[in-house]
């Protein structure tokens, strides 16, 4: 019985101690949740946004030029084969094949037309040669007739006047007939030259079309213009161009060969925060694929005009960040984390933003552990903390949230009201 009482007493003793320690720890935990201290140190204002890697410069791999400088209309062409994205290629290596069907049919039609027009040209030239030979023979015969009329006139000088006059009239008629034949010949030559010239123009035009089509189709097997890594291009909707995609004649880029020695991180900043971003601001960058690595960079471009991204109601502005140095592990389209450092302050006092309160008069203050409402002069802030220019000292403990009896706390620091307003 005595032993049982002793054991019960010991258990009760340790239970009391355990409860005391638990309550003490709970009290400390509650206190840590209720209070915070004003800290002093370096303070940073930054904008954190995700982004995507892209090369600062790249060589474009283009489909052949279809419309410009040619006398046929360019139409969209489908990609029937394309090497996988990320393929390392040398200059002249195979990249893609385009669908030839439409232009093969056009080439076939134009080749048939060319044969027809060449045949027509040969026929026209033969007909012209035969026709002009006849005209030349007529002129020659007429020249003989004129010569005979001249002889007759000379031989009739001893004949009666009526005979002489008849000979003169006949010579005049034959000469006019010769002149008429010569004019007809000249007109026929001019007409023949015009017809042959027009026919030659048509032949030349169709020959050019056939040549252009042959040259175009030769470019439907696309080769690498330079060495590099193949990166698929995105269309205006942000969709990657791949096998089965169509190439617009006015945007002929199939893929790119980026220069991986100079990389950019492209981000989009909201219209609310874009005014804080300037060229030259430092940026801390992380890569999702390599979480253990960190990079630095600088803002090199800020768009002047906003745009609306899909599934978004607000406008955003494109910002380009150049990454310092180079890393062969970096590849276009990798996802990045970007912290654009807008401002930095040294040796300033700052507290969590939720610890700052304002009354009906708009005067900012904090609840201190000393049961006072301390008026403060706030400064710049980031997404978690705010700088306190006046009103708090480092280490002062303040409430994170409004205490239940906060209205009973004494107001202090009225001398700061004029600097706050």
Read off the pLDDT of residues 345-387 as tens digits, 9 standing for 90 and up: 999 999 999 999 998 888 999 999 999 999 999 999 888 999 9
pTM of the model: 0.60
Stretch 301-321: mean pLDDT: 87
Mean pLDDT of the chain: 86
At 284, list the tokens. 């801390």
* Average pLDDT rounded to a whole number, residues 253-264: 91
Give the pLDDT band of residue 159 (cuts 50, 70, 90): confident
Torsion of CA 209, 213, 216, 221, to 10 degrees: -170
Domain 48-55+259-344 annotated CATH 3.40.50.1820: no
Would you place residue 393 in the very low, low, confident or very high pLDDT band (cuts 50, 70, 90)?
very high
> Does the pLDDT of residue 8 top 70, yes or no?
no
Domain residue ranges of the chain, discontinuous segments joined by +:
34-45+346-420, 48-55+259-344, 60-65+79-94+224-247, 103-218
Q: Assign a CATH topology to domain 34-45+346-420.
A: 2.40.420
Determine the distance from the C-alpha atom of residue 362 to the mean position of all C-alpha atoms in its chain, rounded to a whole number.
Answer: 48
CA-to-CA distance for 405 and 407, rounded, in angstroms? Answer: 6
- Between residues 72 and 380, the one the model is more confident about: 380
Query: Residue 54: left if φ>0, alpha if ψ -120 to 50, beta else—which one?
Result: beta
**CATH pick for 103-218 out of 1.10.3470, 1.10.287, 1.20.120, 1.10.3430:** 1.10.287
pLDDT at 252: 87
């Amino acid at each position: 019985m005595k032993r049982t009482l002793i054991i019960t007493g010991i258990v009760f003793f340790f239970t009391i101690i355990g409860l005391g320690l638990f309550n003490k720890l709970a009290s400390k935990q509650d206190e840590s949740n209720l209070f915070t201290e004003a800290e002093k140190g370096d303070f940073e204002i930054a904008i954190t946004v995700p982004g995507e890697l892209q090369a600062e410069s790249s060589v474009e791999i283009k489909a052949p030029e279809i419309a410009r400088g040619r006398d046929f209309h360019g139409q969209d062409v489908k990609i029937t084969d394309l090497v996988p994205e990320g393929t390392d290629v040398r200059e002249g290596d195979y990249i893609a094949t385009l669908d030839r069907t439409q232009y093969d049919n056009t080439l076939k039609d134009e080749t048939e037309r060319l044969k027809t027009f060449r045949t027509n040209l040969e026929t026209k030239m033969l007909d012209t040669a035969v026709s002009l030979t006849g005209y030349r023979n007529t002129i020659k015969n007429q020249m003989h007739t004129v010569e005979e009329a001249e002889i007759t006139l000379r031989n009739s000088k001893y004949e009666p006047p009526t005979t002489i006059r008849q000979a003169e009239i006949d010579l005049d008629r034959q000469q006019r007939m010769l002149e008429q034949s010569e004019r007809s010949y000249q007109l026929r030559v001019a007409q023949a030259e015009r017809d042959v010239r027009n026919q030659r123009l048509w032949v030349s035009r169709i020959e050019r079309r056939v040549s252009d089509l042959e040259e175009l189709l030769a470019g439907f097997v696309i080769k690498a213009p330079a060495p590099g890594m193949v990166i698929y291009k995105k269309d205006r909707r942000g969709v990657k161009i791949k096998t089965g995609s169509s190439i617009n004649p006015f945007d002929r880029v199939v893929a790119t060969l980026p220069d991986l020695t100079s990389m950019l991180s492209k981000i989009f900043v909201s219209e609310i925060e874009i005014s804080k971003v300037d060229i030259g601001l430092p940026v801390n960058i992380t890569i999702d694929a390599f979480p253990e690595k960190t990079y630095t960079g600088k803002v090199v471009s800020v768009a002047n005009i906003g745009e609306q991204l899909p599934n978004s109601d607000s406008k955003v502005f494109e910002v380009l960040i150049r990454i310092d140095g180079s890393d062969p592990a970096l590849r276009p389209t990798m996802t990045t984390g970007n912290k654009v450092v807008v401002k930095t302050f040294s040796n300033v006092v700052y507290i969590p933003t939720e610890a700052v309160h304002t009354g009906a008069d708009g005067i900012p203050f904090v609840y201190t552990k000393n049961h006072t409402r301390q008026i403060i002069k706030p400064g710049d802030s980031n997404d978690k903390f705010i700088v306190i220019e006046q009103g708090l000292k480092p280490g002062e403990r303040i409430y994170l949230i409004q205490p239940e009896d906060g209205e009973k706390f004494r107001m202090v620091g009225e001398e700061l009201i004029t600097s706050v307003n």
